[in-house]
Amino acid sequence: MSNNEQTNSHSHFPWSHLIGFGLSIVLTLLALWVGFASDFSFRTIMIIVVILALIQAAIQLLMFMHITESDSSRIQVGTILYAVFIAVAIVAGTIWVMSFGMHNMNM
């Protein structure tokens, strides 16, 4: 029980939520700027915005969802990390495997 960090003693102002919210807005605007106002190549843009999205997801998990707070935090973090591995396998794998048909895209 003792490692429940997010406890009632935090009765003061919810700073971590506010910081998380601020960071989310900044990251969204940054992604927007990279997408529309920067002159990176298309590939670079996509890499950057995907990284920004991953950071933002991590902020949600850590600062809003308190993934690390309970007794079972190791299982919770392990589940999400394994899910990320599966997500990469499914998305990257599918795009790679199905890319054989890309030459007749506009059928």
Partner 1 sequence: MESVEYSPNTPLEYQSETGRLNILGFWIFLGAEIALFSTLFATYLVLVGRTAGGPGPEELFEISGVLIETFLLLTSSFTCGLAIHYMRNHSLKGVFLWIGVTLALGLGFLGFEIYEFVHYIHEGAALTTSAYWSGFFVLVGTHGAHVTMGIAWISLILIQLKQRGLTPDTTRKVFISSLYWHFLDVVWIFIFTAVYLYGMVM
Partner 2 sequence: MKLDEFFVTGDPLIYGADVSIALTMIGAIFVLTYFKKWKWLWTEWLTTVDHKKLGVMYIIAAVLMLFRGGVDALLMRAQLTVPDSSFLDANHYNEIFTTHGTIMIIFMAMPFLIGLINVVVPLQIGARDVAYPFLNAVSFWTFFMGAMLFNISFVIGGSPSAGWTSYVPLAGLELSPGVGQNYYLLGLQIAGIGTLLTGINFLVTILKMRVPSMKLMQMPMFTWSSLITMVIIIFAFPVLTVALALMTFDRLFGSHFFTMMDGGMPMLWANLFWIWGHPEVYIVILPAFGMFSEIISTFARKTLFGYKAMVYSMVVIAGLSFLVWVHHFFTMGAGGAVNSFFSITTMLIAVPTGVKIFNWLFTLYKGRIRFTTAMLWSLAFIPNFVIGGVTGVMLAMAAADYQYHNTYFLVAHFHYVLISGTVYACFAGLYFWYPKMFNHRLNERLGKWSFWIFVAGFNLCFFPMYFLGLAGMPRRIYTYGIGDGWMSLNVLATFGGVLMGIGFLILVYNIYYSFRYSPRETTGDPWDARTLEWSTPAPVPHYNFAHLPEAKGHDAFWIMKEEKKQGKAPEKKPYKPIHMPSYSGVPIIMSVFFFTAGFGMVFSWHWMSILGLVGVLATMVIRSFDYDKGFYVSVEEIEETEKKTTL
Minimal distance, residue 69 CB to partner 1, in Å: 8
φ and ψ at residue 93, rounded to 5 degrees? -60, -50
Binder of residue 85, out of partner 2, partner 1, none (CB less than 5 to 8 A by kind): partner 2
11 contributes a contact to partner 1 by CB under 8 A: yes
Stretch (H or E) spanning 36: helix 15-36
Exposure string of 54-83, with b = 16+ CB inside 10 Å and e = fewer, is: eebeebeeebeeebeeeeeeeebeeeeeee
Binding site for partner 2 (CB under 8 A): 72, 75, 82-83, 85-86, 89-90, 93-94, 96-101, 106-107
Comparison of 11 and 101: residue with beta carbon closer to partner 2: 101
6 binds, among partner 2, partner 1, none (CB under 5 to 8 A by kind): partner 1
Please state, in angstroms and rounded to a whole number, the distance separating the CA atoms of residues 85 and 35.
26
The nearest distance, CB 28 to partner 1, in angstroms, is: 6
Q: Residue 42 or 85: which CB sits closer to partner 2?
A: 85
Compute the distance between CA of residue 66 and CA of residue 105 in angstroms, rounded to an integer. Answer: 43
Q: Residue 47, interface with partner 1 (CB under 8 A)?
A: no
